């Protein structure tokens, strides 16, 4: 099974330097091993695995400092290599992580991007117990998992969403975008957020900063609503705000998610067959979309 993500849509529609061509997208996938090379020892035929979706050499300074996702000679599967929208995919042994057999395919396919990205982001932001976490895009691919990780980290989670069902994933409060700042102020008795997670981009940038209190941290990834913003500098240094960019995650963090995979939950909107992959990608922007989109292979 494979997840459907904005990165795959971008690969198909506007990223010009993908390799190789013709090209197979699919940055997030899991499957059953059909065959292994002679020197492979950590997994075997028949194992259920998820795939760490970063290409990395293991020898550059970034890899040696446990930042494989920033490898100077690497990139993201689906962009710099063929991806997972295929019946068979060959991957290096170091990218294959064995899963418990009872892990659902939906969760397995969501771990490499939808789950790992917010997990890594919240760890970079050093979210701590009893802090206030605000999640913009709480009903999206990463938002669903950000809520769950926020609760696992012991935070009070405020979800910005029009979807009432995000409450089922552990959100302490659900508020609308239109009156978010007023409601956050009310909920926190004026303290505001310690950490804000923004996965949407420029459209929610200003309210993300406004939602923060003193020593607050804004951690962000993704440019779904735009990639350019204006900064009012005195509002940032006046509160000692930290702005933190995050991308992907490490293999160690992915292994941590493997160990807790069966405690995670997901809302699936639609599953498509591989031959309907074009429709799956287009449906990312459907007004009716209400949960994850997956491709069954």
Which residues 6+ apart lie within 8 Å of 162 measured at CB? 139, 176, 177
Average pLDDT of the segment spanning 214-239: 90
How far apart are the C-alpha atoms of 203 and 205, rounded to whole Å? 6
pLDDT of residue 222 exceeding 80: yes
Q: Residues 193, 216: contact at Cβ < 8 Å?
A: yes
Q: Which domains does the chain have, with CATH numbers?
A: 2-112+249-296 (3.90.180.10), 126-245 (3.40.50.720)
- What pLDDT shows up at residue 50? 96
Report pLDDT digits (tens) over 229-285. 888 898 899 999 999 999 999 999 999 999 999 999 999 999 999 999 999 999 998
Report pLDDT digits (tens) over 54-84. 999 999 999 999 999 999 999 999 999 999 9
Q: Which of 5-14, 35-44, 189-198 has the lowest mean pLDDT?
A: 5-14
- What pLDDT shows up at residue 217? 98
Residue 208, SS3 per DSSP: helix
pLDDT of residue 225 exceeding 80: no
Please report which residue ranges of the chain form alpha helices under DSSP H.
6-13, 61-64, 105-110, 116-124, 141-152, 180-187, 205-210, 233-237, 251-259, 277-282
- What pLDDT shows up at residue 19? 84
How far apart are the C-alpha atoms of 84 and 26, rounded to whole Å? 4
- What pLDDT shows up at residue 89? 96
Q: Residues 32, 18: contact at Cβ < 8 Å?
A: no
pTM of the model: 0.95
> What is the distance, to the nearest Å, from the Cα of residue 17 to the centroid of all Cα atoms in its chain?
23
How far apart are the C-alpha atoms of 5 and 244, rounded to whole Å? 22
Q: Facing residues of 81 across strands?
A: 77
Average pLDDT of the segment spanning 170-194: 97
How far apart are the C-alpha atoms of 271 and 283, rounded to whole Å? 11
Average pLDDT of the segment spanning 118-133: 98
Measured between alpha carbons, how far apart are the two ends of the chain, in Å?
6
To which residue do tokens 């919240």 refer?
A: 122
Report pLDDT digits (tens) over 16-29. 788 898 999 999 99
Higher pLDDT, 20 or 126: 126
- What pLDDT shows up at residue 118? 98
- What pLDDT shows up at residue 155? 98
Report residue 265 as tokens: 């939950």
* 3-state SS string for 33-91: CCCCCCCCCCCCCCCEEEECCEECCCCCHHHHCCCHHHCCCCEEECCCECCCCCCCCCC
Average pLDDT of the segment spanning 163-167: 93
Q: Residue 9 — very low, low, confident or very high, per pLDDT cuts 50/70/90?
A: very high
């Amino acid at each position: 099974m494979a997840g459907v993500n904005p990165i795959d849509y971008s690969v198909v529609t506007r990223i010009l330097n993908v390799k190789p061509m013709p090209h197979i997208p699919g940055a997030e996938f899991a499957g059953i091993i059909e065959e292994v090379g002679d020197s492979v020892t950590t997994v075997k035929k028949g194992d259920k695995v998820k795939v760490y979706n970063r290409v990395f050499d293991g020898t550059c300074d970034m890899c040696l400092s446990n930042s494989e996702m920033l490898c100077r000679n690497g990139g993201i599967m689906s962009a710099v290599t063929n991806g997972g929208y295929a019946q068979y995919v060959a991957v290096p042994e170091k990218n294959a992580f064995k899963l418990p057999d009872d892990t659902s395919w939906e969760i397995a396919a969501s771990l490499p991007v939808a789950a790992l990205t917010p997990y890594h982001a919240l760890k970079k932001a050093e979210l701590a117990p009893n802090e206030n976490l605000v999640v913009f895009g709480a009903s999206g691919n990463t938002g669903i998992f950000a809520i769950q990780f926020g609760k696992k980290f012991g935070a009070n989670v405020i979800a910005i969403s029009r979807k009432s069902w995000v409450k089922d994933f552990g959100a302490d409060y659900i508020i609308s975008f239109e009156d978010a700042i007023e409601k956050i102020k009310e909920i926190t008795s004026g303290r505001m957020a310690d950490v804000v997670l923004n996965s949407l981009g420029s459209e929610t940038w200003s309210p993300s900063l406004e939602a923060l209190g003193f020593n607050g941290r804004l951690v962000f990834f993704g440019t779904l609503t735009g990639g350019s913003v204006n900064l009012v500098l005195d509002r940032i240094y006046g509160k000692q705000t930290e702005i933190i960019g995050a991308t992907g995650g490490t293999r160690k963090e992915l292994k941590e998610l493997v160990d807790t995979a069966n405690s995670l939950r997901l809302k699936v909107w639609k599953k498509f067959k591989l031959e309907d992959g074009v429709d799956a990608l287009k449906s990312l922007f459907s007004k009716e979309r209400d949960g994850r989109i997956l491709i069954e292979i």
